[in-house]
Amino acid sequence: MTWKSHIAIATACTIPFNPALIPAASLGATAPDWSEEILDFFGVYVEHREITHYLYIPIIIISTSFLIDFQNILFWFGVGYLTHWVADALTPSGVPISQFDSYRIHFFGGKIRTGSFIEYILAFGFLFLIVQYLPENNLFLFLKQGYLYFPNFLQLYMIPPDKVCKIEENNELLHQLLTFLLIL
């Protein structure tokens, strides 16, 4: 899958629970691919969808986050990494579980080709459905007096609540997210 699709899927998985950490999940969703580039830069050649795509990597990241991550940044990075693995399992080349297993996992027969129209329909359709049907009283969004309130974001960057942007409807949020993702 392409980076846009990975980011859209990670955003859809993160937004109902902690919208402030969408950047962490997006970074995690693209990490298996950009980490290959970093390794190549340092002279360590790895094939695509090999060592950086093993299933135990996001599991270790998420597990470690319960021990050391007080802001949930590492947790959502790990969730983004896991969404990358699941999304790549939908493609014909599939993904490995570990270096000890030569079999590759293919969800739904691995019929979605990278960059295909179906890939974008799936990724952005999933994002659209999640954002469109977010209930306005969703406790995970911490809606307070018409303002989208991100406690972790506000504490981390010390932004006063009166400076947080007002979002009138979920449609406005969807438009902002899709505009941002299409720019990438």
CA distances from residue 73 to 12, 19, 84, 129 in whole angstroms, order as listed: 16, 12, 17, 25
pLDDT tens over the chain, length 184 residues: 899 999 999 999 998 888 888 999 999 999 999 999 999 999 999 998 999 999 999 999 999 998 887 778 999 999 999 999 999 999 999 999 999 888 899 998 888 998 899 999 999 988 888 877 765 544 344 444 344 444 444 344 444 445 445 444 455 666 666 666 666 5
